[in-house]
């Protein structure tokens, strides 16, 4: 077999002087380092999630676009970036987190048309067919379509504020072109952000833009050069970015954040706190022990509510769920109560994990209490029966829920 020049040098077939030998050695070492680094980057990008194991930080790819399809019951949807790009269909991973207005959220909270940022991974093992395959033509238009399971989805104001970013108003100007529109000129304040806007930009603004100050809706004329603002965006004509909301002060944004926090608390208190089973220990008389790690992206008070039940009269209850987080039947009735044996905290948990693990002694082991399976835990919250179509009642319901039906 014919040797390459580097192979000939390494084997001694080509003799070099001491200085050149040193330079070649440095080059070969650097080249090998680059190859290893590229392999690590590819492995992280192409990480395949597995049930019961949270993915490493940075896994997958970052994508953004407007939410144009929403299936809130099964936690699925589609983003579209630009007028000529195909929809990017996705499913939330069971531990996938959503943020809206800087607070925990669910797909059902996000208005259609909201511009979102997300971290997209390859499908979890066993979920490869959840999102139907796209045509070869669509795959060429969107080479990243296979990254269709989401661990994090957030609107612009959540994405930027979480990274220490705000926007300085430079002024407004009348845009030109075939569809002239008023433009809000802003420049970023704060650190550069990967996959973010890192230079001055013109944003469409019109009478549909909601401008907030002192928790009240204001006219656009309240915008003035020098103000530091936060914005949410959507698609504008000719693939421009258009404003939906502009917050002129912290108190207004904090109000939106609190409203969303309360909305999500109401949702989780009625549907229960999700997690997955780490381990089970069957007892001799039908009961046993179940160890569960709760998913992240929730308000801290939800975890505290369950933790505080350790020595109380009321016991936490736990029920089966699926990867969509949908529960079986009347989850309030089917959930089994348990005595809390242990509460463990993991510092710096991986993405998707809350870092909180609970071990319960239950009198009845449900079929879904298996390692890697999804469960939901009830804290000391009001008894609620969720809408019938959110539950899985039959095997047919389960099978129907496993595939996204594309519009």
CA 199 to CA 404: how far, in whole Å?
A: 38
Q: What is the pLDDT of residue 285?
A: 80
Q: Which one has a higher pLDDT value, 177 or 341?
A: 341
Q: What is the pLDDT of residue 34?
A: 47
CA 66 to CA 160: how far, in whole Å?
A: 16
Q: What is the pLDDT of residue 135?
A: 78
Q: What is the pLDDT of residue 51?
A: 97
Domain segments of the chain: what residues? 5-45, 58-266, 272-401
Q: Which of 100-104, 285-289, 318-322 is predicted with the least confidence, judged by mean pLDDT? A: 285-289
Neighbours of 283 (CB within 10 A): 12
Q: What angle do CA 392, 395, 396 make, to 5 degrees?
A: 90
Query: What is the mean predicted confidence (pLDDT) over 3-29?
Result: 54
Cβ atoms of residues 287 and 366 within 8 Å: no
Residue given tokens 């003035």 in the structure block: 224
Query: Is the pLDDT at 17 greater than 80, yes or no?
Result: no
Q: What is the pLDDT of residue 219?
A: 95
Q: Say what percent of the chain tops pLDDT 90.
A: 77
Query: Is the pLDDT at 164 greater than 80, yes or no?
Result: yes
Residue given tokens 């607070």 in the structure block: 103
Cβ atoms of residues 103 and 264 within 8 Å: yes
Q: pLDDT digit string (tens) for 251-275?
A: 999 999 999 999 999 999 999 999 9
pLDDT band at 385 (very low <50, low <70, confident <90, very high): confident
What residue ranges in 175-239 does DSSP mark as E strands?
182-189, 201-204, 210-213, 216-218, 228-236
Query: Is the pLDDT at 8 greater than 70, yes or no?
Result: no
Q: Which of 16-20, 61-65, 98-102, 163-167 is predicted with the least confidence, judged by mean pLDDT? A: 16-20
pTM across the whole model:
0.88
CA 66 to CA 79: how far, in whole Å?
A: 5
CA 175 to CA 234: how far, in whole Å?
A: 18
Q: What is the pLDDT of residue 330?
A: 82
CATH (one of 1.10.10, 2.40.160, 2.40.10, 2.40.128) for 272-401: 2.40.10
Neighbours of 94 (CB within 10 A): 23
């Amino acid at each position: 077999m014919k040797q390459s020049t580097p192979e000939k040098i390494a084997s001694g077939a080509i003799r070099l002087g001491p200085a050149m030998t040193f330079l070649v050695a440095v080059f070969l070492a650097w080249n090998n380092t680059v190859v290893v680094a590229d392999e690590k980057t590819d492995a992280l990008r192409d990480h395949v999630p597995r049930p019961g194991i949270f993915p490493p930080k940075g896994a997958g790819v970052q994508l953004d676009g407007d939410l144009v399809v929403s299936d809130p019951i099964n936690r699925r949807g589609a983003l579209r970036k630009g007028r000529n790009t195909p929809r990017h269909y996705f499913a939330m991973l069971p531990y996938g987190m959503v943020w809206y207005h800087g607070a925990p959220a669910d797909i059902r909270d996000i208005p259609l048309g909201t511009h979102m940022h997300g971290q997209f991974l390859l499908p979890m093992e066993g979920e490869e067919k959840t999102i139907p395959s796209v045509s070869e033509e669509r795959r060429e238009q969107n080479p990243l379509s296979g990254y269709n399971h989401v661990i994090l989805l957030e609107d612009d104001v959540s994405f930027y504020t979480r990274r220490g970013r705000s926007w300085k108003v430079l002024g407004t100007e009348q845009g030109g072109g075939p569809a002239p529109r008023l433009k809000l000129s802003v420049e970023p304040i704060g650190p550069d952000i990967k996959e973010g806007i890192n230079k001055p930009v013109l944003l469409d603004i019109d009478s549909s833009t909601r401008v907030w100050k002192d928790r009240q809706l204001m006219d656009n004329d309240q915008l003035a050069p020098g103000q530091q603002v936060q914005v949410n965006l959507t698609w504008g004509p000719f693939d421009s970015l258009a404003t939906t909301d502009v917050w002129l002060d912290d108190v207004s944004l904090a109000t939106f954040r609190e409203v969303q926090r309360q909305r999500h608390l109401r949702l989780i208190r009625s549907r229960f706190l999700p997690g997955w089973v780490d381990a089970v220990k069957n007892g001799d008389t039908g009961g046993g022990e179940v160890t569960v790690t709760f998913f992240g992206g929730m308000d801290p008070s939800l975890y505290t509510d369950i933790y505080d039940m350790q020595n109380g009269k009321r016991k936490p209850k736990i029920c089966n769920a699926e990867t969509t987080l949908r529960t079986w039947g009347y989850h309030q009735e089917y959930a089994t109560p348990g005595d809390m044996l242990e509460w463990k905290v993991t510092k710096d948990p991986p993405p998707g994990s809350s870092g909180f693990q609970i071990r319960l002694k239950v009198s009845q082991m449900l079929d879904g209490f298996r390692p890697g399976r999804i469960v939901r835990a009830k804290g000391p919250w009001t008894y609620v029966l969720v809408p019938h179509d959110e539950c899985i009642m039959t095997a047919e319901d389960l099978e129907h829920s496993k595939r996204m039906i594309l519009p």
